[in-house]
Structure 1
């Protein structure tokens, strides 16, 4: 049901304020903050910056992307073709956080020995659904146009965190079969209609001292309102990939936490894909909340080890899909 005038005003003011705070945070921390995925002296600067992809729906808007090569490789250096990973950052569909996932992108480029395209996309409420979906689809088409000779388009995967993972799933199921070798994600929602319902409140509370954002019901509801303010059909697979046919999915991998309120949405998609015989695998970390792997207290050896294991699994699933 379309959002009321009051609802539109509420989400516009709330996310306008939150994005102002984010702008101040980025101005203080710099565009590429670190969260402990790589050593402090590791270079996490994108190999290529300043690239944009023209929006196919809005002639006045372009989508920003950064490209990361593994250490020792540069564009046009004559080396072997490298597999590709399209990273869609988390944002709750609303938060202007690009390009703050540079460290994660650099980590994947290093560990998976691949090229990572880290993409921005339009944010609600200024640009509600389907703007984000359209932007990531445009970037996928840009990659498939093969602008660089060392991009191996036969080994192209997509993924992301939270809302970025949801968008990645939605884009993947709308591409011709075989376009993406896999979707590898961190705690995505698969059905926006359940993100703010009572079932999501049944998730375990995060134990004291364990990492993760509780992602409260009020905030989740505002994010979904902002993104879906003009939506009449919440089962549109571009919005809720759960409703896409099971055979439209490439191999899917999900890493999450058992205290994440998005866990019921993950479990529903897992059940659907497993029953259909799809290649689906997951790692659900005990006592972890939403975004846990980037909210670990520095020096917490237990959780740093769990993050290393989870991200190692993440990378291994990417590499497996390229070797298949």
Structure 2
């Protein structure tokens, strides 16, 4: 375990964990999250293109796009391979944004040689279930309609966004859509009914969350919907026929069983699953890249998965990219 991980866990235990024992303060949490201390720059060879103008729904969010090959420039593997990551950020369905998760999305884009679209889905409680799911499905379908082949797309997400990514796969399968090449789930929140044993057994070990916080947060998203609806809590879904899954979670997380149960059920349903449990690592530790070496390694592993599952779909020069209504911020 690195000293960086120990430092981050100390910080979370001292400053983040106590807040999870208090009543949920939606406005306060959003305000604190918006005051981020540091944000990475787009990696070399990529442009950041934001879509926040009215009328851009359902593709509201951020594109991180590989630059087109300049005339006379040597051909590179990264530019010749067409792959896209649709990223769904975490935050309990009620806070965070594409900007808060740039350490992950920028890191994945660079490592996987992929264009990344980070979706700004509607948040609860103003927009309860199924608003976030509807936005994720609409974004995926718009990517496909604009020329991105399903076999070149990976859906990824963390925490609530990880549960949302898995729910989107189930809903797409049920609707008969062509499925993406795979999915990446970081510490996914898959059981809004909070029935996992680790909610209790890891309470006090998790440096980030107390076990009881999830029962307070879940109703913000669920509204009047049952906590066991398979599109809200995909641990209750039939997982047959899904594409390969890459899942990471920390051994001391209160949400650990949300990962273990999904991984076991998916394998039993015949789904290819890669699942790693990081000893002593905090919730969604890839977000601590590049500071934490374990986070960098997690992004490296994820990129290898993304490249592998989209490998057969790579086609030189086949990158539709975003539409012209975006604003571009060059790195």
Tell me the TM-score normalised to structure 1 length. 0.76
Deviations 1:166-194 (A, max 9, x none): 10110111213642111111110222112
Unaligned runs of 5+ in 2: 1-21, 313-331
Q: Structure 1 residues 251 and 177 mapped into 2: Cα distance closer, same or farther (>3 Å)?
A: farther
Equivalent residues of 1:53, 1:142 under 8 A apart: no
Deviations 1:52-105 (A, max 9, x none): 6969xxxxx7652211123x4379x99646111100011111114332222321
Shift of residue 265, structure 1, vs aligned partner: 1.2
Deviations 1:110-158 (A, max 9, x none): 11111111111111111111111111111111111116xxx44431110
**Residue 100 (str. 1) matches residue 100 (str. 2):** yes
> 1:259 maps to what in 2?
252
Shift of residue 42, structure 1, vs aligned partner: 4.2
Deviations 1:250-292 (A, max 9, x none): 2111011101111111111111112222201111110112133
> 1:239 maps to what in 2?
232
SS in structure 1 at match of 2:60 = strand
SS in structure 2 at match of 1:164 = helix
CA distance in 2, matches of 1:251, 1:83: 16
> 1:227 maps to what in 2?
221
1:18 equivalent among 26, 29, 38? 29
SS in structure 2 at match of 1:217 = coil
Q: Structure 1 residues 229 and 85 mapped into 2: Cα distance closer, same or farther (>3 Å)?
A: same
Comparing both chains, which one has the higher relative contact order based on Cα–Cα distances under 8 Å and sequence gaps of 6 or more? Answer: 2
SS in structure 2 at match of 1:82 = coil
Q: CA RMSD in A?
A: 3.1
CA distance in 1, matches of 2:25, 2:266: 36
CA distance in 2, matches of 1:46, 1:113: 13
Equivalent residues of 1:253, 1:280 under 8 A apart: yes
Tell me the TM-score normalised to structure 2 length. 0.75
CA distance in 2, matches of 1:308, 1:19: 27
Unaligned runs of 5+ in 1: 1-9, 35-39, 56-60, 207-211, 299-303
Deviations 1:21-51 (A, max 9, x none): 333x14xx4xx714xxxxx794597532225
Tell me how many residue pairs correspond in the alignment: 282
> 1:134 maps to what in 2?
134
**Residue 68 (str. 1) matches residue 68 (str. 2):** no
Which stretch has the larger CA shift, 273-282 or 169-178? 169-178
